Amino acid sequence: MSKTLPVQKNDYIDVVFEDLTHDGAGVAKVDGYPLFVPNGLPGEKAKIKVTKANKGYGFGRLVEMYEKSPYRVEAPCPIYKECGGCQLQHLSYEGQLKAKEKQVRDVLTRIGKLENVKVHPVLGMKDPWRYRNKAQVPVGEQEGGLIGGFYQQRTHSIINMKECIIQQEKNDEVVQIVIEICSKYGIRAYDEGRNKGDLRHIMARHGLVTGEVMVVLITRKNDFPHKNKIIEEITSRIPGIQSIVQNINPKKTNVIFGDETRVLWGEEVIYDFIGDIKFAISARSFYQVNPEQTKVLYDKALEYADLSGKEKVIDAYCGIGTISLFLAQKAKKVFGVEIVPEAIEDAKRNAELNGISNAEFAVGEAEVVIPKWYDEGNTADVLVVDPPRKGCDEALLQTIIAMKPKKVVYVSCNPGTLARDLRILEDGGYETVEVQPVDMFPQTMHVEAVTKLELKL
């Protein structure tokens, strides 16, 4: 006989929230059965209505709040509840940093079985707003004109948005000017259902240090009406504009970029700095969206690598060479690996741009290239990994264990896969010395962490 659930759909129950999910919902438990409720914060007491009761967990909505968290604040964004881009504006910044530290500690204990590892308080921002240097805005139509905004949660309806308070103000201004200009010339927004229209997305990139601006128009077809007039107006109205690029995506898909990118005006790239290192950023470059905190993150990675100038370093998942170039300033030699060929081209260009000659870059999967290097006798004193959300591939982890670099620096954007991988490395002869979480994305549940591991003697 199947076990009866402790709650049923449409039940009204009183709960105390214990935790937050990875997307910022409050977690309450009834006889051990978890309920996920948007807008609930740990420590709060509330009445909720159960909206869904699955076998292992359920969902609810807040009906009445009895006791509020001392960290609860009024979200400053007028479309916060509809938008879904941020999850934590209703939690004070102090509360956000505590929640993220707890998230890292909890998964290290639960998944990694690492109970005595030193986890430092999260390194946050002095001003946790207006930090994003790239805006990617879908375009729609309303009352005969174009609008730009973000998709409403779990829908493809665009919420008209004049400003986003986690975007740099410059990008908000650029997007609004481009929308006005395109509206003026009768450009039609892309209609996903009918696969018709011209303009799909507008992207704006802004060099925080240099002030340089790039506009990317993502269109359905090669040609679009009044192209030359639109380019002329964009260049006359946007200060700092260096580059106008068109990306063509003819497919009926919600993937933003198509395969073809062309420069319509100006340069192919804009430039920016992280610390002393200069980076060329193209329309499709992966470049950290919060350069201020990227510097904090990489400084910590460099500190944990503890380089004297004699070491050979491998940087797995090197992207456009951001960490590699920081490491190269202190290492004897750095080898970077990345699966995306365009990123490796960017990495080589960025090394040249900075006069760095002791960094080499290879295209390929880290879990294929690094074992091959090891088989050929190429080892490293320090190995740095900065994998995607899914974490390191098993083959790479086993190669690290076989290669035995003295230190491993693990930069992670997903505490869950970090904890899983640390467990494997610990079982393979490494000791997790310390973990430093860094808040790269204030107002969201995302947290990055830099971990220092040393080979046990």
Would you name the residues annotated as active-site residues? 413
| Angle at alpha carbon of residue 441, lines to 242 and 432, rounded to 5° | 120
Among 79, 58, 73, 69, residue whose Cα is nearest residue 13: 58
CA distances, 207 to each of 250, 335, 365, 437 (Å)? 29, 27, 30, 25
For 82, the enclosing helix (H) or strand (E) is helix 80-83
3-state secondary structure of 417: helix
For 39, the enclosing helix (H) or strand (E) is none
| Angle at alpha carbon of residue 114, lines to 427 and 55, rounded to 5° | 105
The whole-angstrom separation of Cα 34 and Cα 31 is 8
Contact 165, 76 (CB under 8 A): yes
For 247, the enclosing helix (H) or strand (E) is strand 241-248
Contact 63, 47 (CB under 8 A): yes
Contact 351, 281 (CB under 8 A): no
The CB-based long-range contact list for 172-177 (8 Å cut-off, 24+ gap) reads 172/135, 173/238, 174/135, 174/204, 174/206, 174/213, 174/215, 174/238, 175/135, 175/137, 175/148, 175/202, 175/204, 176/148, 177/234, 177/237, 177/238
